[in-house]
Amino acid sequence: MGGRTVSDIGAPRPRLYAEAVRGRSVLVAGLGRSGMAAADGLLECDARVLVVDDSDTEANREKAQILRTLGAEVRLGAGSTAELPEGIELVVASPGLRPSTPLLAAAEAAGVPIWSEIELAWQVSAAPLPAPERTPWLAVTGTNGKTTTVEMCAAMLTAAGNRVALVGNVGRPVMEALLDTDVRYDVFVVELSSFQLHYSHSLQLHSAAVLNLAPDHLEWHASLEEYAADKASIYQRVTHSCVYNVDDPVTERMVEEADVTEGARAIGFTLGTPGMSMLGVVDDLLVDRAFIEQRKTSALELAEVGEVQPNAPHNIANALAAAALARSFGVPATAVRDGLRALELGGHRIQTVATGDGVTWVDDSKATNPAAAATSMLAFDPIVWIAGGQAKGTSFDELLPRVADRLRGAVLLGVDRELVRDALSRHAPDVPVIVIDNPETGAMTEAVAAAAELAGPGDTVLLAPGCASLDMFRSYGARGDAFADAVRAHLGDDPDRSTEDDEPDQH
């Protein structure tokens, strides 16, 4: 579950800068991993802590026991988050709670500050120190590619000999890393979602990147404009480099409109030949024309394009963004190359599961919105597409005209399967569609069998759902595992597949 166990209580702890929260009555809304870390850090800073969560599970009761031992009050069960208790001076919100949640709406109306766990971590790690003395944070946001990019950046920094904390939306809370007793980090690499940025207002990052912007999470944000504004806030107060996507002009406009620290630079990345102050691609090489003295006339080789795996165009863009952040921190060019060579990405990202009967089966369960599905689908032709799940308020009307001529067929499942079918009927009416109405996780076995009926030699069956997974699965990883298991069962567990897929993916 992350964080401390009962046996850890009493162990030496690092010093936090507690003045922002000492003595305040703080409500932590949500007892997930970030909520647990936030409560732990608040107690370390001598705040008065109340934790609430509507879910009274065994795991939450376990965490509640630890927090009560440390001095927190914990309320579990239905209705725990229904209202704002009297006397609360600060709320730390779980990223899963929408601003319209009654507790958060009440705090907003009462003028009670609402922070993310990210904001709390920044406040207690940095408040009394001038920026040059703080442990630097390099941060990444964007609709797609965040996790891959921070993993690449961390690998590059590690290759240069830095002690790196890989934290944020990637899985480990920042506060949890701050409370580590056995290491002092040189740099934090932070993945930030729009949810986390929504309630973060004072970050002063060393460097930050917005990878791209496409409609997503419109069930959480009031509008696409609000979603974009939350993403753009990552650039505010940046001290060194604002990294943007040359091929996604909205990210450049975000940099132009940001109130950055004097001297901060705009650094572009592109799959084409880079201009000055950019990183890009020349003759199958990743090159840097931003962090070299001769950037007006020359470029520095960082790595070969072939050293980026998987070698899809959008992943090469991720590598360039990661390199820009790492280079902004001063790593040598060799560390970019060595980091890419050493990196082992998590599963479910354009991962070939198996080949059999001339058909290639590819798992890109990480493609949880239409824009991510598009980047995956454009890498293959022809395709039998497995899609569906929770659409999160997004539309497939922009995706399908781009990929319709690649589709051999489509298999749809999940709660918003009809939304995808309607879009297919508008933009690809001749493509055969099979709809799986089974709402249980076993539907994936039916989907694989249906895809096999549609696919022929030379085709790729691609799981790129364009939707979130939680309507049927506990995570996109569980969905990808179900796909891989169903494929192998369908092929008799004896396909011609790559050896790295013989073991379950770790995610």
Q: Are residues 146 and 272 in the same domain?
A: yes
Per DSSP bridges, beta strands 114-115 and 90-93 are parallel
Please tell me whether residue 238 adopts helix, strand or coil conformation.
coil
| Ramachandran angles phi, psi of 164, nearest 5° | -115, 135
Say how far apart CA 440 and CA 453 lie, in whole Å.
21
User: Is 261 inside any structural domain?
Assistant: yes
Answer yes or no: is 146 a known binding residue: yes
Is 145 marked as a binding-site residue?
Answer: yes
The enclosing domain of 370 has a CATH number of 3.90.190.20
Q: What is the mean pLDDT of residues 315-336?
A: 97
Please tell me the total count of domains within the chain: 3
pLDDT confidence of residue 480: 93
The answer to whether residue 429 scores a pLDDT higher than 90 is yes
Do both 188 and 302 map to the same domain?
A: yes
Check pLDDT > 90 for residue 277. Answer: yes
90 within domain boundaries: yes
What the block records as the tokens of 416 is 């918003």
Query: So what's the pLDDT on residue 314?
Result: 86
Q: Are residues 138 and 280 in the same domain?
A: yes
Secondary structure letter of residue 260 according to DSSP: P
> What is the average per-residue pLDDT within 375-393?
90
pLDDT per position as a tens digit, 290-306: 999 887 788 999 999 99
Same domain, yes or no: 277 and 307: yes
pLDDT in the model for residue 366: 86
Q: Quick one: pLDDT band at residue 18, thresholds 50, 70, 90?
A: confident
Whether 15 is in a domain gets the answer: no
pLDDT band at 11 (very low <50, low <70, confident <90, very high): very low
Q: Is residue 77 part of a domain?
A: yes
147 marked among binding-site residues: yes
- Was 438 annotated as part of a binding site? no
pLDDT at 227: 85
pLDDT tens digits, 129-185:
555 557 899 999 998 889 999 999 999 999 999 999 999 988 789 999 999 878 889
Report yes or no: 299 and 274 within 8 Å, Cβ to Cβ: yes
What's the predicted TM-score (pTM) here? 0.74
Q: Is residue 500 part of a domain?
A: no
Is the pLDDT assigned to residue 81 strictly greater than 50? yes
Task: Judge if 356 and 338 occupy the same domain.
Answer: no
Rounded CA separation 215/227 (Å): 8
Q: Which residue has the higher pLDDT, 16 or 185?
A: 185
Same domain, residue pair 212 and 257: yes
Residues 327 and 448 in one domain: no
Q: Residue range 408-430: average pLDDT?
A: 95
Same domain, 156 and 300: yes
Structural domain range at position 111 = 25-115
What is the structure's pLDDT at 350? Answer: 81
Of the chain, the percentage scoring pLDDT greater than 90 comes to: 70
Q: Would you say the C-alpha torsion 133, 23, 83, 38 has a positive or negative sign? A: positive
Parallel/antiparallel/unpaired status of strands 359-363 and 351-356: antiparallel
- Tens of pLDDT, residue by residue over 202-254, are 999 999 999 998 766 566 656 778 888 999 999 999 999 999 999 999 999 99
> Domain check: are 413 and 386 in the same one?
yes
CA 432 to chain centre: 33
Residue 330 sits in the same domain as residue 184: yes
Same domain, 174 and 299: yes
Q: How confident is the model at residue 375 (pLDDT cuts 50, 70, 90)?
A: confident
Q: Which is higher by pLDDT, 23 or 11?
A: 23
Secondary element (H or E) of residue 190: strand 187-191
Q: Mean pLDDT score of the chain, rounded to an integer?
A: 88
Give residue 499's pLDDT.
29
Average pLDDT over residues 502-506: 28
User: Is 281's pLDDT higher than 90?
Assistant: yes
Positive or negative, the Cα torsion across 294, 298, 303, 305? positive
